[in-house]
Structure 1
Amino acid sequence: MPSSKYAAYEAVRPYFELVREALGDLVDGEHFFDIVSDDVVYEVLYDFPDWPRIVRGRADLMAQFAGYVDNIKLQAADKLITHKTDDGRVVVIEYEVHGTILATGVKYNNRFASIIRIESRKIVHWRDYMDSLGAWNALTAGAR
């Protein structure tokens, strides 16, 4: 993470760095929040506690991630596969994240596929798919 400007998001740094690596010179900015447009649409096609299906705008996205870091700390993000299409205006990334559910100490491992649309060297739309069962198992491990 290049500056203390985003220090509050340290718990998800591996994810942010993986996304930045995946997009390379297609976008401008050092940090994940620098490479999303002010009016980004971040869409998740799954149900995750306290996360809306659609987040509109960088400020709201930052607020959502602030809640995420209160609950999950990532140790790694890896297994990146990048597919560039449409002259780099659309990028599909596949990856995994590995972390810990802070409330329970349960390990959290998940797989994702994200479809990213880029305009004017910024992310304008993000559509996310994940292994919902992996998230469910990690979040409910203490309840079984």
Structure 2
Amino acid sequence: MFGADGRFAYLVTELSAEVMVFRWDAQQGRLTLAQSLPISAAGFAGVKSGAEIAVSGDGHFVYVANRGENQIVVYRVAASGTLSEIQRVASDGSKPWSFGIDTTGRWLVVANQESGTVNVLAIDRKSGLLKSAGRSVKVERAVTVAFVVG
């Protein structure tokens, strides 16, 4: 997933549960690792698992699904492209597999595979922070959310 300016790429790993930042050299076609952070909280002893990743439309925030702790982790993007964690919020279900940010940038919709729920989180576009919108739909084995612009 590339940031808004195309200079940095962001990747989440599934089994090691890390978020990685790469610098992109378009002339050389080369990615260079700039940062790697664990998405699990310090001291978490359960099974670690990363899933979805998205960058806000303005490029100021990165969102990562943390399946191991049933959370969405929010990061602020520095001018250097590096990330700093600003929030951990419950996905309002179990095993957040995928999520999508709607075209207005106001809503993050998360598919929780194990609990069979699709939940809506509100995005504060200024701070990047999330909060539950209190909206949920039962969908058996929900695994993918996508918004289609057409």
TM-score, normalization: structure 2? Answer: 0.35
Of Structure 1 and Structure 2, the greater helix share is in 1
Q: Which has the higher contact order (CA 8 A, sep 6+)?
A: 1
